[in-house]
Structure 1
Amino acid sequence: MRFSTLFTALAVVATGVTATDSSSSSTSVIGLTAANDYGAPIPPWETGSSPGWYYGQGTPPSGLESLADTLICELLELLFPLCLQCPKPPPKPPSTPEYTLTFYNQTCATQDASYMTYGLVDTVADCETMCDTVPGCTFVNTYHDVNGKGGSTQLTCSLFSTCLTAASNDNCGGQTQPNGSVDFIINSDGYCKKTPTA
């Protein structure tokens, strides 16, 4: 994965055109722009959606780049400054929490026109860190989208530009997956950020 991404990036820099790898469905780092919803142009509540990125300490899911991978982070910073950047190590925690819980343990996820992007993370804190990286991010919705992935512990992390409440939770799953199973949502939590990311 790392070499495929590096090759794609170098081909873009050398030729000025997008290189594609037909043998892989991986998200190219050059597709991680605001215009492309940071690699996730189809929101998670629509059929055919897929996460645009992964941020966590585990092995990234097939087809996703890890925004915690040193090589990927250096590549983004040096060659693609307009793309989604890897989170920097957080500063000392503030004396008051930056995020306020607006709903907890729901069985539906947020669906709203202020959608920005979504990816996969290991923890709620990882999702908040991603929000801190995306300009305009004000709200995070984390949840388990149970869709036949064999009980993955990863959370879906959806980012929005508007603070929302449980009233926006109308994505309750029900999408048929490629393997014929039907997904459902559990452990959906919402957190509103006090100050939008600049």
Structure 2
Amino acid sequence: MRFTKVFAAATLALSGVSASPVTVTFDLIGILGFDLTEGNKYNSPIPPWLHGSKPGWYYGNNPFAYKDLPCLVGIICKILKFFPYALQCPTPPHNPPPPPNDGYTQTFSNITGATQADDFQTFGLVDTVEQCKAMCNSVQGCNFVNSYHDVNGKGGSTQLTCSLFTKCHDASTADNRGGQSQPDGSIDFIINSDGWCKNGVPISDPQ
């Protein structure tokens, strides 16, 4: 019943064609409780290499494990379709097996640093690299994904961190090694960091 009412509210929010973007954004936040717009980096305004950052969303097979994040499955996907300017749920990847060429070329593999760059778009949590790529395919302007394990970070999550960027990067920009103090006194560090660039997009000059 609750989801039925929320879905009806989403329909009413956009029933008037004269609604202003500000009003529509307010309605989206009121319905979902999250700001999933581009201006807010899709609910992750602080990039993952800065203190205080938090994942903006979760896309994967265990939504009940992340009740404090907007989980991009089920009814929320239907609601977001009424707000085309907001983050949209990706089309589920073909898994398994992935196609021989999924549209991405790997630029670095299994290193101990994560990309940090000014063209950062958003970041969240996923179960697989394929799901990270699917997120990139659903965000306008995304051309590069960096998936990695942030050990001790992100509230102790064992999921992959998935960061999206508009430009492609090689290992020279993967200089986020972690090193942030966590509430339990531990220090986070980065492992299993992979970079994936959409085919045909050149690597950005780090200079």
TM-score normalised per structure 2: 0.77
- Given candidates 87, 99, 103, the residue that maps to 1:84 is 87
Q: Tell me the C-alpha RMSD between the 2 structures.
A: 3.0
Aligned counterpart for 2:36 among listed residues 32, 40, 56: 32
Matched, 1:156 2:146: no
Tell me, which stretches of 5 or more residues in structure 2 are unaligned? Answer: 15-22, 202-207
Counterpart-to-counterpart distance in 1, 2:105 and 2:165: 14
Show the counterpart of 1:49: 53
CA spacing shift, 1:161–1:189, aligned 2, 3 Å:
same
1:100-142 alpha-carbon deviations (Å, 9 max, x no partner): 1111111110011111100000000000000000111111000
In structure 2, distance between residues paired with 1:165 and 1:115 = 14
- List alignment gaps of at least 5 residues for structure 1: 22-26
Contact kept, 8 Å, 1:42 with 1:48, in 2: the verdict is yes
Q: Which structure 1 residue ranges, 4+ long, deviate > 4 Å from structure 2?
A: 16-21, 148-151
Q: What is the Cα deviation at residue 54 of structure 1?
A: 0.5
- Structure ID, larger Rg: 2
TM-score, normalising length: structure 1: 0.81
Is the 1:141–1:190 Cα contact (8 Å) retained in structure 2? yes
CA contact (8 A) 1:103 1:189 kept: yes
The answer to whether the 8 A contact 1:101-1:190 is kept is: yes
Q: Which residue of 2 aligns with 1:58?
A: 62
Query: 92, 96, 102: which is aligned to 1:97?
Result: 102
Q: 1:143 aligns with which of 145, 148, 153?
A: 148
In structure 1, distance between residues paired with 2:28 and 2:198: 37
Aligned partner of 2:204 in structure 1 is: none
Bigger Cα displacement from structure 2, 145-154 vs 38-47? 145-154
**SS in structure 1 of the partner of residue 162 of structure 2:** strand
Residue 24 of structure 1 is matched in structure 2 by none
Instruction: Say whether the 8 Å CA contact 2:92–2:134 is kept in structure 1.
Output: no
State the number of aligned residues: 185
CA distance in 2, matches of 1:111, 1:19: 29
Q: Whole-Å Cα distance in 2 between the matches of residues 157 and 146 of structure 1?
A: 14
From 71, 85, 89, the equivalent of 2:75 is 71
Q: CA deviation at 1:163?
A: 0.6
Does the 8 Å CA contact 1:138/1:195 hold for their aligned counterparts?
no
- Structure 1 letter corresponding to 2:79: L
Equivalents in 2 of 1:58, 1:13: separation in Å? 29
The range that moved more, 184-193 or 94-103, is 94-103
Aligned-residue identity in percent: 55
Q: CA deviation at 1:153?
A: 3.1
